[in-house]
Copies of this chain bind each other. A is one copy, B any other.
Amino acid sequence: MTLKLYADRMSQPSRAIIIFCKLNGIDFEEVKIDLSRRQHLTPEFREINPMKKVPAMVDGRFKLSESHAILMYLACVFPGVADHWYPADVFTRAKIHSVLDWHHSNLRRGAASYVLNSTLAPALGLPLNPEAAAEGEKLLSASLMKIETVWLKGKGRFLLGSFQPSIADLSLVCEIMQLELVDEKDRERIMGPHPKVLKWIDDTKKATRPHFDEVHSILFKVKEKMKKLQSDGSVGESTRKTSPRSKM
């Protein structure tokens, strides 16, 4: 029975798992759960993941949610996944767990909150929230600084000084890619002070091509649509009453 991935490519952890499977020749069926159409809230999807979140996975009779747990599971059970993705060495593995745990309360929380509240909210039928966006940006910038000065220390081009990417590189870079949705000036202001982070993103893209670009192409399409809707004047106000969901 083929592995089933319940995902929305607009969700950064969904993209990380899809790219991981493609890179490692893991055969899977991608089941789209459209967040903008609230498909994650249906009774059918609740049977797959009672937490009502994507990504989620079904492998035979085994159901699993949470992207880091899924990446670790896939790396362990599918033959042919190269060791560098989730090294068997207990010390390297522990450090990868540390980065992934840190990610939850720092980079992910900051980036997701900033992108949602500064840009994405109207496309989900929610108002923009400049105060929450500013709060998110603060945590995001502090997190990028920690990646620059702590996690990217060492000889290699990847996190923890590694010479090849791990699931941590994939997870964190997919998170930062969400910033492609925001205004270019804002993105430059936030990313500019972190040259090592920018180089690492580029190195991770190169190491995971062509799948990285293909799976991320949706972001650029959505950005174009959002720009068009903005120029039509139908998205962007902070007190919208109708949802442009059907237009996305």
Contacts and interface: CB of A to CB of B under 8 A. Distances in A.
A97 interface: yes
B150 A94 contact: no
A73 interface: yes
Interface stretch (A3-11, A99-107, A207-215): A99-107
A171 B160 CA distance: 26
B65 A98 contact: yes
A65 B146 CA distance: 14
A101 B98 contact: no
Q: Is chain A's interface secondary structure helix, strand, loop, or mixed overall? A: helix
B51 A102 contact: yes
Interface string A32-73: 000000000000000000110000000000101111111011
Contacts of A194: none
18 contacts: A50-B150, A51-B150, A64-B98, A65-B98, A66-B102, A67-B101, A68-B97, A68-B101, A69-B95, A69-B97, A69-B98, A69-B101, A70-B94, A73-B97, A76-B90, A76-B94, A105-B105, A105-B108
Given A69-B98, A69-B101, 20 more contacts: A50-B149, A50-B150, A62-B91, A64-B95, A64-B98, A66-B98, A66-B101, A67-B101, A68-B101, A69-B94, A69-B95, A72-B94, A72-B97, A73-B90, A73-B94, A73-B97, A76-B90, A77-B90, A105-B105, A105-B109
Contacts of A108: 105
Contacts of A150: 50-51
A51 B150 CA distance: 8
A212 B68 CA distance: 29
A105 B94 CA distance: 20
Contacts of A65: 98, 102
Nearest to A72: B97
Contacts of A76: 90, 94
Interface residues of A, number: 30
Interface in A87-139: 90-91, 94-95, 97-98, 100-102, 104-105, 108-109
A150 B91 CA distance: 32
Contact of A97 (B51, B66, B91): B66
A68 B72 CA distance: 14
A51 B146 contact: yes
A90 B68 CA distance: 14
